[in-house]
């Protein structure tokens, strides 16, 4: 056990985690020249296209140091705030973390939030100053920032460049000398933590685990504590670039397990694996449930694909435990699911993965957050509103509370005014302003979560020219004046486009929604009125004009009453058509509502 080291890599987006992981694999000889490629651990096409890490990836390396052989288990983690749940899972399986800071960009919001996650789990932190070879790098100043943040010595910081391979040997030496070996009892009953799983269509669910006590052998009878079900360990092994089957995985090591489970619901991330005959008395603690921030409906384009969508979502949930979903139905879209996501990027990624990995074409409704409503009849009884259509009638409503967050934004001093005006426009209240250096400012705001769901992150990047980093944490519910804005097409409410909005913004947003829909809804044979309404009061209206045939073309000259008669006849036909006509809403219309400011 004393020759095993488990560590993860944490950093802000784009500070070079995946590139550093590539260099560590090269240096330890874990990959052959044929297997080498950029972003080696990012196995999804989506990750390569966007240049971001979405999933944590575990891999094992062998390294010889001072004549002794060591086994290093590395878990590469995502940097985006929407995937912080992945990071918390990886941290639970490690004893140490490489904290990577970009020498040009210095410490960003996500660096700090991931660092706190690691410190909560008592991980040994090794600070690495990456990209020191860049012409814009400022290693002295950034080193001082790291010392202030961590309270470490200047000598503890390892200067490195993942691109050129500088400092890689020092990093490996630091991992072996500074990160403590795993602690655990080899002779105790088996106790292992599941930190990830993936669905293989041929072999069922593959479970990734970290052994805390005891050992797991091939052919052993095992039990999952949360579901209380017994299985047979068909295959256990370690995770190299490919899977390496082994006879036994011992205490402190990380590996994979195949039991032939076909039902995705039987494996829960964070569950404990133990021996069926001699079970452990205590499950692994300290593993938190995911708290979704944004809710949206996902519906199959064809209602017959509902069951197929359900099984696709279950398989996807295995691989991404932060996805939460429950069935729901909508008058406009039929049967589908109400899904909880960690943020807008997460929603986008899930939608793309459903299309790519499972060939499911889906419609996504307008995202919203979850509210608490109270009625006049029972002012103490809480009604959870995940969908605007669940909101009680305005006449019986006592009050509505919405979730607030504490937003931390780190930006350059030049952009403070722009960032402040954006946050105030989004109903934010500034609570703190700290100058980290004369150039960089940390701003703290209390803001409603609903305001950042839509386009906040994109607009923040725009007003700060890409120099602002953003992180948030929930701070509870607060009372707000909210109203439900409905969109009516041809006099019928489209429940999938309803939104709960603050009174002050309702009129503007209702007007913009109508204008946007007017551009996107194709013209029909009859006039289509598009209206935004609060209760029974119409606050905005646009009309998509009818396509019409020139019925008077055959009348040349003659009396006006002849033309009148033909036009009246056409008008009657259009009126009847409007009563029976059905308006199809294109998928772009649902997504366009999110980008009202473009």
Known binding site: residues? Answer: 14-19, 130-133
End-to-end CA distance of the chain, in Å? Answer: 57
CA 48 to chain centre: 17
> 26 with 116: CB under 8 angstroms?
no
Question: Residue 118 and residue 105: Cα distance in Å, rounded?
Answer: 21
Nearest of 346, 323, 470, 290 to residue 82 by alpha carbon: 346
Beta bridge partners of 69: 64
CB-based burial, 113-150: b 16+ in 10 Å, e otherwise: bbbebbeeeebbbbbbbbbbeeeebeeeebbebbeebe
Residue tagged 């995940």 (tokens):
386
Question: Residue 320 and residue 307: Cα distance in Å, rounded?
Answer: 20
> Residue 316 — φ and ψ, nearest 5°?
-70, -35
Nearest of 175, 204, 339, 191 to residue 266 by alpha carbon: 204
Sequential DSSP letters for 67-85: TEEEEEEEEE---SGGGHH
Nearest of 231, 324, 221 to residue 269 by alpha carbon: 324
> 114 with 408: CB under 8 angstroms?
no
| C-alpha Rg value of the chain to the nearest Å | 28
Positive or negative, the CA dihedral 348, 354, 359, 360 is: negative
Q: Judging by beta carbons within 10 Å of its beta carbon (0-12, 13-18, 19+), is residue 155 exposed, middle or buried?
A: exposed
3-state secondary structure 242-295: CEEEECEECCCCEEEEECCCCCHHHCCCCCEEEECCCCCCCCCCCCCCCCCCEE
Question: Residue 129 and residue 143: Cα distance in Å, rounded?
Answer: 7
- Binding-site residues for GTP, please? 14-19, 130-133
> 104 with 145: CB under 8 angstroms?
no
Beta bridge partners of 337: 298, 327
The H-assigned helical ranges of 551-595 are 560-580, 587-592
Q: How is residue 251 written in tokens?
A: 């205490």
């Amino acid at each position: 056990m004393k020759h095993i080291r488990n560590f993860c890599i944490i950093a802000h987006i784009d500070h070079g985690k995946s590139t550093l992981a590539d260099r560590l694999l090269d240096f330890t000889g874990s990959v052959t020249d044929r297997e080498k490629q950029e972003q080696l651990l990012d196995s999804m096409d989506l990750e390569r296209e966007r240049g971001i890490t979405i999933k944590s990836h575990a891999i094992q390396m062998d390294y010889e140091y001072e004549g002794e052989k060591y086994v290093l288990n590395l878990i590469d983690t995502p940097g985006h705030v929407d995937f912080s749940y992945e990071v918390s899972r990886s941290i639970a399986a490690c004893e140490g973390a490489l904290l990577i800071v970009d020498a040009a960009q210095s410490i960003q919001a996500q660096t700090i939030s991931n660092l706190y996650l690691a410190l909560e789990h008592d991980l040994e932190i090794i600070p690495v100053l990456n990209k020191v070879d860049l012409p814009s790098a400022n290693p002295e100043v950034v080193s001082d920032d790291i010392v202030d943040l961590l309270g470490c010595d200047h000598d503890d910081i390892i200067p490195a460049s993942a691109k050129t391979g500088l400092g890689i040997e020092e990093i490996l030496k630091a991992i072996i000398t500074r990160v403590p070996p795993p602690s655990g009892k080899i002779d105790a009953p088996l106790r292992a933590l599941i930190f990830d799983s993936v669905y293989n269509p041929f072999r069922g669910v593959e479970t990734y685990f970290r052994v805390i006590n005891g050992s797991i052998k091939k052919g052993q009878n095992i039990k999952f504590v949360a579901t209380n079900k017994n299985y047979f360990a068909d295959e256990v092994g370690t995770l190299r670039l490919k899977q390496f089957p082994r006879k036994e995985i011992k205490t402190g090591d990380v590996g994979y397990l195949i039991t032939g489970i076909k039902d995705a619901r039987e494996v829960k991330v964070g569950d404990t694996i133990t021996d069926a005959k001699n079970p452990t008395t205590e499950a692994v603690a300290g593993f938190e449930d995911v708290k979704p921030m944004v809710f949206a409906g996902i519906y199959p384009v064809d209602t017959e694909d509902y069951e197929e969508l359900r099984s696709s979502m279950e398989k996807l949930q295995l691989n991404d435990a932060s996805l939460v979903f429950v069935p729901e139905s909508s008058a406009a879209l039929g049967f589908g699911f109400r899904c909880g996501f960690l943020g807008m990027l997460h929603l986008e990624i899930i939608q793309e993965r459903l299309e790519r990995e499972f060939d499911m074409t889906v419609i996504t409704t307008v995202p919203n957050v979850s509210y608490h409503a109270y009625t006049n009849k029972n002012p103490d009884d809480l009604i959870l509103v995940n969908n605007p259509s669940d909101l009680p009638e305005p006449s019986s409503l006592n009050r509505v509370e919405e979730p607030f967050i504490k937003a931390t934004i780190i930006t350059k001093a030049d952009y403070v005014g722009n960032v402040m005006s954006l946050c105030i426009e989004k109903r934010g209240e500034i609570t703190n302003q700290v100058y980290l250096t004369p150039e960089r400012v940390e701003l703290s705001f209390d803001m409603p979560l609903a305001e950042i769901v839509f386009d906040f992150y994109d607009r923040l990047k725009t007003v700060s020219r890409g120099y602002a980093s953003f992180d948030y944490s929930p701070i509870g519910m607060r009372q707000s004046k909210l109203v439900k804005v409905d969109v009516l097409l041809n006099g019928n409410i489209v429940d999938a486009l309803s939104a709960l909005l603050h009174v002050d913004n309702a009129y503007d947003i209702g007007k913009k929604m109508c204008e946007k829909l007017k551009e996107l809804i194709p013209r029909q044979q009859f006039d289509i009125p598009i209206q935004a309404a609060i209760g029974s009061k119409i606050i905005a209206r646009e009309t998509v004009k009818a396509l019409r045939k020139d019925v008077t073309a055959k009348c040349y000259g003659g009396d006006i009453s002849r033309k009148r008669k033909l036009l009246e006849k056409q008008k009657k036909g259009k009126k009847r058509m409007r009563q029976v006509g059905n308006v199809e809403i294109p998928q772009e219309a649902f997504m366009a509502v999110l980008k009202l400011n473009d």
